[in-house]
Structure 1
């Protein structure tokens, strides 16, 4: 029984199957001249019978076995010409849908060793970075970029679909590389300038910080208004727990930034909570897929073709072998 995904690329070739039968009945038989043995008195004998001598020829006739082999070979050849194939389901490919920018705080407060990762106390930044690696790998189809900020902001990775490179550049960043303070407004402004240089319309920013804005140049809410004008959605993540020692997290500002830009605010008090935040962001900004026009095809023509050639060689070998045996028998 043929599988459901079996197809013939050229089914019209099957119309050629009865062609040998039509040739057999329509075309005259092939007549081959053969030598004749004349004997004395041939004309006289022909006169007695009243028959008129005429030229004749021998018509070779094949036996049933020969016809059967030829017909099987013909069917196999037509089968190969019809190009049988197994056609798979249309594949889904990841669609490049958006520019996704991670803007992360690497000020000195991120060096506090008050988070647990795999039952070990680690720095906030080490935990954030570890979980961010997994998040980046799951964003297939997005063009991702990295901006790190503290007192200053800088682009660690411009937008690229090469997530492996983004992941590597993330690994090279560490606390203190951009200064000591936390300037959120400046970081948002840097992200907006990066978005302006690209043509993809959907723009998403993930802003992570554990502090309060200490800048004077660009206020966070002013930066949020600029992002809104450029259609940039900002999801804000507050690292740590406000009200505890070592935390000056400004949740209200982060909530307002997200609200202004159409995003959402999350608070991650520990590594487990941050992992859930990443999962939630993946649901809010799902990876988009689209069908490939080309379906995977496995060609099968070589099997009937190989069988036809093998059968033809076997029949020829058998014919030669029978002929040799007959010659040996006749000699005896």
Structure 2
């Protein structure tokens, strides 16, 4: 008996809803506990009806409480199907979900400088950045991405979301000067850290794009970097902007774009990130491709064997047996009524 119970316990994990198996003996219990139904109204009124009932002694006719074994088997199979039998499927190794990634984009006045070329025409820095970032978003499937823009102040245009199209739409709708004409790099980093600190550790990343020097805001960029490091937020800083033209096309002292590259390098180094310098749209695209490699979206996860549902088999068998059990008595009654059909 114990061996039988142990065997039954071993089979239980094969069912998603094993408690449905308790319904298997339900028809037996109903037949055992409830008395047979009797029709109190006589089907045929006859003066000797009382006498017939006395002769029968109120006993049911033979076979009335008997139930076809096919019907019992169909009921058992139906209960097994309801319990959802499952078998382990093929081993799979799904990728772990991607990063929580905040894009911080500079919208200060200098982002309107038309020193970039895109598709053979001169465009401003923000337009070139939008094109590159839009392509970058296409490759971040599986990431939760948010968007912060900053100028004199920093604002969240899109919280962390899997809907990259909404982030792209907010990015494309942004314009130079939307957040002010100055550059609050420290405030942008601080706001990004605030949004990321409650997320999964080891997955928090900020990609900072700026073309200037911190000139506004209440938080010093290097203090903000310390705050990011304390909360496990990694910052990749991208300095973006072309060199100003010099005399007769020659680069002269004082004509370099005003970008504090050293400060951005310190920010990135403090948070175990990388600092980059892009002088045109092509270099910027290469930088974001490099960030793709630094921050991969997918990595192999835990090996799993997803269950495969097997309930269609007992369910189909139960329906077939039920139909056969219903059809068989009717055929017998037709044969009894017409003996010529039996010989056919």
Q: Same fold (TM over 0.5)?
A: yes
Q: Does 1:309 align with 2:307?
A: no
Q: Separation in 1 of the partners of 2:262 and 2:244?
A: 13
Q: Is residue 266 of structure 1 aligned with residue 272 of structure 2?
A: no
| Structure in which a larger fraction of residues adopt strand | 1
Answer yes or no: is the 8 Å Cα contact 2:151–2:179 preserved in 1. Answer: yes
Cα deviation code 1:28-63 (max 9, x no counterpart):
xxxxxxxxxxxxxxxxxxxxxxxxxxxxxxx99xxx
Q: Which residue number corresponds to residue 253 of structure 1?
A: 263
Instruction: State which structure, 1 or 2, has the greater radius of gyration over its C-alpha atoms.
Output: 1
Secondary structure in 2 matching 1:109: helix
Distance 2:337 2:243 in 1: 101
Distance 2:240 2:119 in 1: 18
Could you list the runs of 5+ residues in structure 1 that have no partner in the other structure? 1-6, 17-58, 61-69
User: Which whole-Å deviations, capped at 9, do the CAs of 1:85-140 have from their partners, x for residues lacking one?
Assistant: 56545684754x76432111112232344445556654332332244345446545
Aligned-residue CA RMSD (Å): 4.3
Answer yes or no: is 1:326 the counterpart of 2:326: no
What is the distance in 2 between the residues matched to 1:285 and 1:321?
76
Q: For the residues of structure 2 that align with 1:183 and 1:116, how far apart are their CA atoms? A: 26
Q: Which consecutive residues of structure 2, in runs of 5 or more, have no partner in the other structure?
A: 1-12, 25-61, 247-255
Q: What is the rounded CA distance, in whole Å, between the counterparts of 1:274 and 1:325 in structure 2?
A: 91
The one of 274, 277, 288 aligned to 1:278: 288
2:327 and 2:281 map into 1 onto residues whose CA distance is 71
Q: Which residue is 2:157 aligned to? A: 156
Alignment CA distance shift 1:100-1:263 (3 Å) = same
SS of structure 1 residue aligned to 2:226: helix
1:150–1:180 Cα contact (<8 Å) kept: yes
Q: Report the equivalent of 1:183.
A: 184
Deviation at 1:324, TM superposition (A): 4.1
Q: Residues 195 and 312 from structure 1, CA distance in 2 versus in 1: closer, same or farther, beyond 3 angstroms? A: closer
Which whole-Å deviations, capped at 9, do the CAs of 1:2-24 have from their partners, x for residues lacking one? xxxxx9647xx9xx9xxxxxxxx
Q: Equivalents in 1 of 2:342, 2:231: separation in Å?
A: 98
User: Cα gap change, 1:269/1:311 in structure 2, threshold over 3 Å: closer, same or farther?
Assistant: farther
Distance verdict in 2 for CA 1:77–1:158, change over 3 Å: closer
CA distance in 2, matches of 1:77, 1:185: 70
Write the deviation string for residues 283-320 of structure 1: whole angstroms up to 9, x where unpaired.
32334675698946433132212222233344344434
Q: For the structure 1 residues 156 and 216, does the alpha-carbon distance in structure 2 shift closer, same or farther, using more than 3 Å as the test? A: closer
**1:223 corresponds to:** 224
CA distance in 1, matches of 2:89, 2:135: 31
TM-aligned CA deviation for residue 206 of structure 1: 1.0
Shift of 1:176: 1.2
CA distance in 1, matches of 2:327, 2:230: 79
